[in-house]
Amino acid sequence: MLFIVADNKWEPAGQPTNVNTYDFPDKEKGKACPYGIYDLTRNEGWVSLGISRDTAQFAVESIRRWWSEMGCFRYPVATRLLITADGGGSNGWRVRLWKKEIQSLANELGISISICHFPPGTSKWNKIEHQMFSFISKNWRGRPLDSLGTIINLISNTTTWPLTKTEPVLLIVTEPVIARCSVASAE
């Protein structure tokens, strides 16, 4: 039994959950990489959970999955897609591979995709941080994230005041494809 008192969570005395003291990668348990998509119009969230690294391919595959499983049904006559993103990481404004993969996705879907990056230091304006990830973080506060099942369960059971729905999806990518994109191939 887990005891919860006013946002504090305690395990029963003498029965602590064993966790790794250090935050180093564990080859046995692996790692989890969340990538979120937040639909501003419908107030819905989508979280892809990868088990490798945050790469441009993973980011675009998350968008592809969101579009094929939610977006195309929500917006069946859409000819354009606007994506707002922070300026760093796999979908950063300097990442040539991100630009190349997004263009491939646009060609595949037959829609125009525009990307608007937030300026450096302004990620606090990104709605996904306030409308989705803050509530996910509150939900798993004090809980050891010891398995992918635990993480998926905590994300899917996140209740938020402003967000209608959060859909977690596990993308199984056992080993990331390390790809490079030259300037010539990106153009």
CB-count exposure of residue 162 (10 Å: 0-12, 13-18, 19+): exposed
pLDDT at 164: 58
CA–CA separation, 65 and 69 (whole Å): 6
Task: Please report which confidence band the pLDDT of residue 176 belongs to, taking 50, 70 and 90 as the band edges.
Answer: very low
Task: Please report which confidence band the pLDDT of residue 5 belongs to, taking 50, 70 and 90 as the band edges.
Answer: very low
Better pLDDT: 34 or 30: 34
29-186 topology per CATH? Nucleotidyltransferase; domain 5 (3.30.420)
Max avg pLDDT among 39-48, 67-76, 85-94, 126-135: 67-76
Predicted TM-score (pTM) of this structure: 0.78
- At 99-150, the pLDDT tens digits run 999 999 999 999 999 999 988 888 777 888 877 888 888 888 777 787 788 8
pLDDT at 135: 82
- At 161-175, the pLDDT tens digits run 665 556 556 555 444
pLDDT exceeding 90 applies to what percent of the chain? 22
The domain spans of the chain are: 29-186
* SS3 assignment for 107-140: HHHCCEEEEEECCCCCHHHCHHHHHHHHHHHHHC
| Mean pLDDT score of the chain | 78
